[in-house]
Amino acid sequence: MDPARRRRLLLTLVLLAVGVLAVDQLTKAWALSALEQGSRTALLGDLFGLQLIRNSGAALGIANGTTWVLTVVASVVVVVVIRAARRLGSVGWAVALGLLLGGALGNLVDRFLRQPGFARGHVVDFLAYGDWFIGNVADIAIVAAAGLVMLLALRGVRLDGTREVDAAEGDPAPGDRGSDGALPEQALPEQTLPEPAADEQPSGSEEPRA
C-alpha cells in the first residue's frame, strides 16, 4: 500500500479515537458537576433523559460487579486495536477501530482513575434510555463501532481493504494499484509471424516465364 495512504488512515483512526475520548471525559466531568446521583431529568419524556450513576459493569450496564475483569478485557481490546492498525487499509475499518479505541479508552480511564480504586473504578454513566439502560458517550462509540464492523463483514471488506470476492478472483490488492487506483499495465508476450517455407511462393506472384 502507498505509505501516504497508510499514514492518512492511521491519522483518521488516531484523531477519531482522541476525539471520542475527549468528548467522553468532558461530558462525564459535566455530568458529575451538574447532575445529582440517581436524579432523573427527562429530555424526551420517558424515552430519553439524564440520570447520573456510577457503573461497576460493562457498557450499557451489563455485568455489574465485575470491574476488574472488564478492566482486563478493555485493556486487551486496546492492545488488539493498536496491533490491528498496522494492517489497516480501509477507511471503513479506520473509522470502526477509531470509534472502538476511543470508547474503550474512555471507560478504561474511569476504571483506572475513579473510585473505589485502581483498576476497580466505576464508570460514569448519565445518558438514560427509557427504563432499558444508562450509558455514556464511550458506550455510543463502542456500539457504533460494532455496527460498522458487522456492516464491513457483511460486505466482505477486510482489514487491509481487500474484499473476499476480489481475493477469490485473484484481483490485485489496493496496495498493488497505482496512485490513481488503476491496475498496472501488464506486458504482453511478443508475437512473431512464421517464416514462409523456402519452396513457397508469395501469394499473388507469378512464376517466371521461360
- With the CA atoms of 92, 95, 101 and 103 taken in that order, what torsion angle do they form, in degrees rounded to the nearest 10? -120
Tell me, yes or no, if 125 is annotated catalytic.
yes
119 by DSSP, 3-state: which? coil
DSSP-assigned letters across all residues of 155-179: TTB-TTS-BHHHHHHTPPPGGGS-T
Of the candidates 96, 95, 98, 88, the residue with the CA atom closest to the CA atom of residue 175: 88
Of the candidates 140, 20, 168, the residue with the CA atom closest to the CA atom of residue 158: 168
Tell me, yes or no, if 139 is annotated catalytic.
yes
d(Cα 198, Cα 168) in Å, to the nearest integer? 50
Catalytic residue among 139, 160, 166, 199: 139
Catalytic residue among 46, 125, 131, 180: 125
Burial of 193 (C-beta count, 10 Å sphere; 0-12/13-18/19+): exposed
DSSP-assigned letters across all residues of 38-68: T-EEESSTTSEEEEEEEESSSGGG-STT-HH
Beta bridge partners of 184: none
Of the candidates 155, 113, 139, the residue with the CA atom closest to the CA atom of residue 23: 139
Q: How many Å separate Cα 103 from the centre of its chain? A: 12
Could you give the residue numbers annotated as active site? 125, 139
